Amino acid sequence: MLEHLQAVPPDPILGVLAAYNQDPNPNKIDLGVGVYKDEEGRTPILPSVLSAERELLERQTSKSYLGPTGVTGFNEAISRLIFGADSPALNESRIRTVQTPGGTGALRVAAEVIRTANPDARVWFSDPTWANHTAIFPAGGLQSGTYPYFDPDSNGLRFDAMMEALGQLGPNDAVLLHACCHNPCGVSPDESQWREIAELAGQRGFLPVIDMAYQGFERGLDDDNLAIRVFAEQCPELIVASSCSKNFAMYRDRVGAISVLASSAQKAADIETVIHSLTRKNYSMPPAHGPAVIDIILHDDALTAQWRAEVGDMRDRINGLRAGLVARIAASGVERDFSFLERQAGMFSFLGLTVDQVQKLREQFSIYTVNSARINIASLNQANLDYFVSGLKSVLEG
């Protein structure tokens, strides 16, 4: 049977990583993989996480199964973090949060929840979106489409076109939105625009599905849940897929959650049973280590304060790199205006290069990015900024 299987093309980002790893150039730069890196080019373990891990090792007494919901304290704390501690929906018990293996796991569970509720539903993605979105939801059994989002000419949001497209949708549709730090373009709606989108969702009846992968990396932990709060005000139903990979830097521990807002407390409880049924047939029981660590952090005032400061440091470093990159590109004499990089937020932005220019960056300078020229700003540092700008100037002028 298995002999009939054929090789499939590698994931574009993983392909870039493989080529980078094989490159002997000591000046090589990997701008493809979406992980945070510090000034030394490492993805660090946060000190708050290390402290909580030590505490966990001392207190844990069993490696038995957690049960389908996962770590209860983690779920409660994540609900407060993403909806706000004073959320009326939380106080009304209309929200259920279930731990998942990473944010990607949450997205796949979300797809299956939607398919179970409505097999004819269609999910709509922003153009562009994270490439894995367009694989996860169809794999979960859903049809899909796209709505206008990013304008490569202005490097901004196509808000009017987006609203026109969303205005055609209805109760058989789910719309996937990025809560903050849009991947791959770094452009988010402002507060008034979020409120217009949420009001439209309430009027048209489509289901908002919000991917919360970078909370804390745009404006701050307490501001980056704005979209979730305004949708919770306007819509009776909402699904949120959240990830702790970036803001806790716990990538390999695969910590995430699916949160569902329902029209009533009873309906929320009903939906939780559906989630448990779906996950039982998938990964059966969730992992323990990462969520238990975050449970400790978010229930210890000192560790919470330390973690919040660490998230702020990562955000400030990325913003500093954006400003420094814009300044150095301008100082190099490049005629193209790259000031948009400072207006955008999060780890990712498009450089606006052609595929040929991307290939020249790789071949001539060992600077690796995907063909769309989406770069991970956090992979830059003070030691490689000038080298990167030199390579960029060369391919732009060549």
Active site residue 28: no
Structure-derived torsion over alpha carbons of residues 243, 247, 253, 258, reported in degrees to the nearest 10:
-20
Q: How confident is the model at residue 8 (pLDDT cuts 50, 70, 90)?
A: confident
Annotated catalytic residue within 28, 124, 130, 295: 130
Domains of the chain: 10-45+304-397 (3.90.1150.10), 65-299 (3.40.640.10)
**Please, where are the H alpha helices in the chain?**
12-22, 47-59, 72-83, 88-91, 102-117, 133-139, 159-166, 191-204, 226-234, 265-280, 289-298, 301-331, 340-343, 355-365, 385-397
Q: How confident is the model at residue 287 (pLDDT cuts 50, 70, 90)?
A: very high
Q: How confident is the model at residue 12 (pLDDT cuts 50, 70, 90)?
A: confident
In this structure, how many other beta carbons lie within 10 angstroms of the beta carbon of residue 117? Answer: 13
In tens, the pLDDT along 331-371 reads 999 999 999 999 999 999 999 999 999 999 999 999 999 99
Q: What is the mean pLDDT of the chain?
A: 96
What pLDDT score was predicted for residue 318? 97
Annotated catalytic residue within 211, 224, 253, 295: 211
DSSP 391: H
What pLDDT score was predicted for residue 33? 84
Does position 109 have pLDDT exceeding 90, yes or no?
A: yes
Please name which of 187, 209, 22 lies closest in space to residue 122, comparing C-alpha atoms: 209
In tens, the pLDDT along 377-393 reads 999 999 999 999 999 99
What pLDDT score was predicted for residue 181? 97
What pLDDT score was predicted for residue 245? 97
In this structure, how many other beta carbons lie within 10 angstroms of the beta carbon of residue 306? Answer: 18
Active site residue 37: no
What pLDDT score was predicted for residue 362? 95
Quick one: tokens of 68? 């389908």
Percent of the chain past pLDDT 90, that is, above it, reads: 95
Rounded distance, CA 75 to CA 111, Å? 20
Quick one: tokens of 315? 């955000």
Please tell me the number of Cα atoms within 13 Å of 1 on its side-chain side. 0
225 in Cβ contact with 260 (< 8 Å) = no
Quick one: tokens of 231? 């949708």
User: What is the average per-residue pLDDT within 287-300?
Assistant: 97
98 in Cβ contact with 258 (< 8 Å) = yes
What pLDDT score was predicted for residue 398? 79
Q: How confident is the model at residue 59 (pLDDT cuts 50, 70, 90)?
A: very high
Angle at 105 between CA 99 and CA 106, to 5 degrees: 60
Q: How confident is the model at residue 17 (pLDDT cuts 50, 70, 90)?
A: confident
Pairing of strands 143-148, 150-151: unpaired
User: What is the average per-residue pLDDT within 213-219?
Assistant: 97
What pLDDT score was predicted for residue 15? 80
Q: How confident is the model at residue 90 (pLDDT cuts 50, 70, 90)?
A: very high
Q: How confident is the model at residue 37 (pLDDT cuts 50, 70, 90)?
A: very high
Active site residue 211: yes
Rounded distance, CA 364 to CA 391, Å? 8
End-to-end CA gap in the chain:
51
Pairing of strands 150-151, 156-157: antiparallel
Please tell me the number of Cα atoms within 13 Å of 113 on its side-chain side. 29
In the chain, the amino acid numbered 104 is T
Helix axes 355-365, 385-397, angle to 10 degrees: 130
Does position 10 have pLDDT exceeding 80, yes or no?
A: no
Annotated catalytic residue within 28, 37, 246, 360: 246
Does position 209 have pLDDT exceeding 90, yes or no?
A: yes
Please name which of 347, 352, 311, 318 lies closest in space to residue 334, comparing C-alpha atoms: 352
